Structure 1
Amino acid sequence: MIKIGTLTCLHANNVCARVGCLKAFQNRSAFFEGYSSDTFLGAMMTCNGCKSANPKEPDVDEGILEKIDRLVSEEIKVMHVGACRLDGKKKECPRITRICEMLEDRGIQVVRGTHRE
C-alpha cells in the first residue's frame, strides 16, 4: 500500500469542492492511473494563502512546516498538485512551486496534476 495526498490552492476553496480530484482518484483516472486498488488517499492539504493574505513565505511559515512534518510522519509518499496551482496564464503559483520543492526535499514525490482540466 502507498499513501498519497493532494495539494491545492487555499483560494480554490471558494469554488472547489475537490470533486474532480476525488473522482479521478476513486476511478484511478487521469494523473492517478497506475495506482493499485490499495492506494490510500491520506492527506488533502492547501497552501496557506497568497502574500496579500499571508506575508510569510513557505520556508518560514510555521503552518506549512508543520503540515509537511505531518505528511512525513504519516508516510505520505506522493503529493498530487491540483490544477488550481496555475493562474489565468497557466503559470504556476510561486508559493505552490516552493512548497513542492520543500516536499521533494523531504522525500515526497510531487506529481503536478490530479484530474484533467
Structure 2
Amino acid sequence: MPAFCGDVLVCIRVLPLSAHVFCFVVQKKGKEEHPTKKIVILTCLKATNGCTGAACLTAFHNRSGAFQQYLDEGLELMAFCHCNGCGSVLEQDSGMQEKLERILKIHPDAVHLGVCTLKKETGRCKTIEQFIKIFQDNGIPVIDGTHNSPRLPNIGLPITL
C-alpha cells in the first residue's frame, strides 16, 4: 500500500520469490507510479577474477551510468550472472543452457551487459553474442553497459546484432 513520507511516496511490495524479500519503490509525490522494471546484468566470466561487480551494482542502485534512463522508475534486479567463458558451446554446456532458460523464464524488461563483455581489442566474444541473439530473438532488449566507462560510447543504448 502506498504511503506518503513527507514529499516522497513509498510503495512497499513483497516479491513472489521469497517471503523475506522486499522491493522498495520510492517516487516523488505527484508522479504517477510506474510499474517495476525487471533487470538482468550479464558479465564476463574472465572478469570475475578481479571484479567484485561493485561498480555494476552501485550504478544500478544509484541509477547512474546505463541505469540513468530508469531514474523515475522502480527497478528490480532479477539476476546478476556471468557467461560460462569464451569458447563455451551453448549446445554442449548444460550450465549455460540453464542460465539462459532461467533468464528467459523471468523475461526481464532488459538485460544490461557489463563493460567487461566488451574488449577494447576484439569487441564482444562469440559467447556473449550468442546470448545477445537469444535474448533479442525472445523479445528482450539488450542494453550496452552498466556503469560509466570510456570503452562504452553507446552506454545505455540498445545493442543490435
TM-score, normalising length from structure 2? 0.64
Query: What is the match of residue 28 of structure 1?
Result: 63
- Of the structure 1 ranges 25-34 and 71-80, higher mean CA displacement relative to structure 2 is found in 71-80
Query: What is the match of residue 102 of structure 1?
Result: 134
Query: What is the match of residue 62 of structure 1?
Result: 94
Q: Indicate the structure with greater strand content.
A: 2
Larger radius of gyration: 2
Q: Report the secondary structure of 2:139's partner residue.
A: coil
Question: How far did residue 60 of structure 1 move?
Answer: 4.3
Q: Report the secondary structure of 2:96's partner residue.
A: helix
Identity of aligned residues (%): 37
Amino acid at match of 1:111: I
- Of 86, 96, 107, the match for 1:50: 86
Aligned mates of 1:65, 1:105 — CA distance in 2: 15
8 Å Cα contact 2:38/2:76 also seen in 1: yes
Change (3 A) 1:86 1:75: closer
Aligned mates of 1:60, 1:107 — CA distance in 2: 24
Change (3 A) 1:59 1:100: farther
Amino acid at match of 1:72: L
Aligned mates of 1:105, 1:60 — CA distance in 2: 20
Aligned mates of 2:120, 2:148 — CA distance in 1: 16
Q: Report the secondary structure of 1:66's partner residue.
A: helix
- Of 26, 29, 51, the match for 1:16: 51
Query: What is the match of residue 81 of structure 1?
Result: 113
Question: How far did residue 87 of structure 1 move?
Answer: 2.2
Query: What is the match of residue 147 of structure 2?
Result: 115
Amino acid at match of 2:106: E
Question: How far did residue 72 of structure 1 move?
Answer: 2.2
Amino acid at match of 1:48: N
Stretches of structure 2 that go unaligned for 5 or more consecutive residues are 1-35, 150-161
Aligned residues: 113
CA RMSD of aligned residues (A): 1.6
Stretches of structure 1 that go unaligned for 5 or more consecutive residues are none
